[in-house]
Chain A
Amino acid sequence: MILVIMTESALFTIFVVAYLFYLGKSLNPPYPREVLEFPWLGSFLLFSSSGTIVVAEQRLKKGDRGGFHLWWFLTILLGAGFLIYTGAEWYHLIYHDGLTLSTNLFGSTFYSLVGLHASHVIVGLLLLSLILIASLTGNIQHRHHEHIEMISWYWHFVDGIWAVVVTVVYIIGMQS
């Protein structure tokens, strides 16, 4: 899983570099400072889901199956909430501000970077749901503990990437 995270990081790096390189180089509006708003709600949802997944794991270690299900489900809800938030943000950008993938350099790099992250959230949610279903149907046993830990690592990684994306896309990006 460490290797997967390494290789994924390399993938993200290139998109981050492209975004930073093209920052302020778009020839036509909309520019980031006009249309971007800091994603307080989305970040809150996603970052707190990293907390809930830790709690879920601890419950599982203590053998508290019900608590595990509850916190795990909460993680899925928070992740899904983040996706809905991103969807709403994109809807606003596309239909209100007229920013699409092909509008300008900012549009291309913004949607590809944030979209790559969102696609990882989707994969993460699928994995999380798979675990929940397997656990509810009783297919998860104690020996699967490591698998669950790996999936939570992946989820933390997706969160970590979001921290980078927020810094790059919003905090640095909104300057230009």
Chain B
Amino acid sequence: MANSTETLKGIGTELTPAPPGHEHGTLTAWIQDLIFTVDHKKLGFMYLGMGWLFFIAGGILASLIRLQLAVPNNHLIDAESFNGFFTMHGTTMIFFFAMAMVFGLANYVVPLQIGARDMAFPRLNAFSFWATFFGGCFLFLSYIAGPGLYGTGAAPDASWFAIAPLTSRAFSPGNNIDYWSLGLLISGVGSITGGVNVMVTIFCYRCKGMTLYRMPLFTWLVLVTMFLVVMFMPPLSAAQIMLVLERFFGAKFFEAQAGGSPVLWQHFFWIFGHPEVYILVLPAFGVVSEVIPVFSRKPIFGYPMMVAATVMIGFISAGVWAHHMFTIGMDSFSVTFFAFATFVIAIPTGIKIFNWLGTMYGGKIRLEIPMLFCIAFLFQFLIAGLTGIMLGCAPFDWQLNDSYFVIAHFHYVIVGGIVFAVFAGFYYWFPKATGRMLNTRLGLWHFWVFTIGFHLTFDPQHFLGFLGMPRRIYTYQEGRGWEFLNMLSTIGAIIQGIGAVLFIINMFYSAWKGKIAGDDPWDAWTLEWTTSSPPPDYNFEEIPEVRSRRPLWDLKHPEDPDWKFE
């Protein structure tokens, strides 16, 4: 065992001394290295690359959905394919784009931020990546393999939360739902092992002097995220095991004819599904908590409260799941409980937003591109939170559940919040990972085009919801007053697509010809900026020792170090 790893490591260092894509070795050697690597930085890269691949796939599906809905009575896509499209779009974006981003950023940044040389279990890390990746591939295999409904391929088509009676053999013959459940089961195993790995890394591999209380906020938020992954992915896996048993072996879990309860499926799914929202958004908060202080030239405002709020969000998020289910007919006690819990979770989130504002207040703000994305994030996430509270009011939810208002709300969270923060993170850490800056001019274009496209797409959808447009319909009649807003939304989606393409061009262009970054282009304060860009395989020549939350500040300002005040 030990021997074979030695040789693998030997091959690895011989073949790729440089970041991906350069002089040494042939294409096959490079691919071979990708397959065998256990390095947290390469795996982080692979997670992120995989995320963008699935982002493109999910984006194409979204564009097709929007094209279909642009005008009334449209028949560009037939109803069955449309069902497949929105199911695949949701599943892909949540599990194979956003989750890949979470794990990619965590993989790349966390060991560097805590001064470690790699993750705690490098080989397990590789396993997690490959499980996630093959899970995604398996899901998309449904389009080319296996029999499904008559001639439409076998794409899963029961929406991303696989509504229970629809998923039984009687209503979904063929293999479509199996692709969904098995693909996500595989990637779920990858996520859980990944979560365990990151948590162990954070607990056991911090460098000397880095107490939990001196950890960078990104690492803190990733820690809470991984706790949620470890606790709340298994319910989904369990529910999917039940679904697989039901579909393949005739077990009875969710079948009403046998006394089973489709509602139980919804409970199981949302016990996972709501914490999942926080799994995705907490690392985004982490990115924002790193970027805003650096570009406001002030330490983060209220660090202890930020940590406390994060932990609070983590705990409360476990008790709000049924606010997705107000319309299924719960008793009034449950409705009140879950509505109340939903309001309570707004408190720690509000604390965070005020602390970010407090950090910016009186700071010397540098409007670089990561900061622009963070500012847009603050506005958009605020609106997302407010519509969330609106939907948390049960009577309001009875009116608007399953309408476009809900679509607008969660796209504000996921695109306006998470994707914007991911962009900020990319502009922020790209120089560290590649040694080259992302192009600013292209970046500005990307920011403005994407932001305008985003608002044009999703702002009208709030109003479509008020006007009564239900989600998941594949077309609608004329004369309901939905035409103009739908057209606007489609135009917005196309503009957003152009923005995303600009970003991808920027990544390739800058990796190839960008300005050389140097070790610390942003004058930042955390440990990842002490090593070279890109970092060597071993990250740090000497394991650093820290005495405060901003070790690099101490290093640059020995006359006024932070540790005197903490």
Contact = CB atoms under 8 A, between A and B. Distances in A.
Interface string B211-254: 00000000000000000001111110111011001100111110
Contact of B249 (A7, A22, A25, A102): A102
Contacts of B238: 11, 14-15
Contacts of B258: 26-27, 104-105
B224 to A, nearest CB: 14
Nearest to B1: A139
Contact of B251 (A3, A7, A26, A102): A102
Given A3-B196, A7-B196, A14-B238, A25 B259 contact: yes
Contacts of A8: 234
A3 B199 contact: yes
A21 B245 contact: no
A101 B264 CA distance: 18
B16 interface: no
Interface residues of B, number: 30
Interface residues of A, number: 26
Given A3-B200, A101-B251, A102-B249, A11 B260 contact: no
Given A7-B196, A14-B238, A112-B251, A101 B245 contact: yes
A129 interface: no
Interface string A4-28: 1011101101110010011001110
A109 interface: yes
A108 B259 contact: no
A68 B250 CA distance: 45
A10 B259 contact: no
A10 B234 contact: yes
A41 B333 CA distance: 44
B296 interface: no
A3 to B, nearest CB: 5
In terms of DSSP, what is the predominant structure of the interface of chain A? Answer: helix
Nearest to B255: A105
A160 to B, nearest CB: 16
Given A105-B258, A105-B260, A14 B234 contact: yes
A18 B196 contact: no
Contact of B242 (A6, A18, A27): A18
Interface centre among A3, A6, A25, A102 (most CB of B within 10 A): A3
A105 B264 CA distance: 13
A7 B234 contact: yes
B253 A108 contact: yes
Contacts of B234: 7-8, 10-11, 13-14
A22 to B, nearest CB: 7
Nearest to B264: A21
Interface in B261-289: 261, 264, 268, 271
Query: Which A-B residue pairs are the 10 nearest by beta carbons?
Result: A102-B250, A14-B238, A11-B234, A108-B251, A10-B234, A27-B259, A3-B196, A7-B230, A101-B251, A25-B259
Given A21-B261, A108-B245, 10 more contacts: A6-B230, A7-B196, A18-B253, A27-B258, A27-B259, A104-B252, A104-B259, A105-B252, A105-B253, A112-B242
Interface of B: 192, 195-196, 199-200, 230-235, 237-239, 241-242, 245-246, 249-253, 258-261, 264, 268, 271
19 contacts: A6-B231, A7-B192, A7-B230, A7-B231, A7-B234, A8-B234, A10-B232, A10-B234, A10-B235, A13-B234, A14-B235, A21-B264, A22-B253, A102-B251, A105-B259, A107-B251, A108-B242, A108-B246, A112-B245
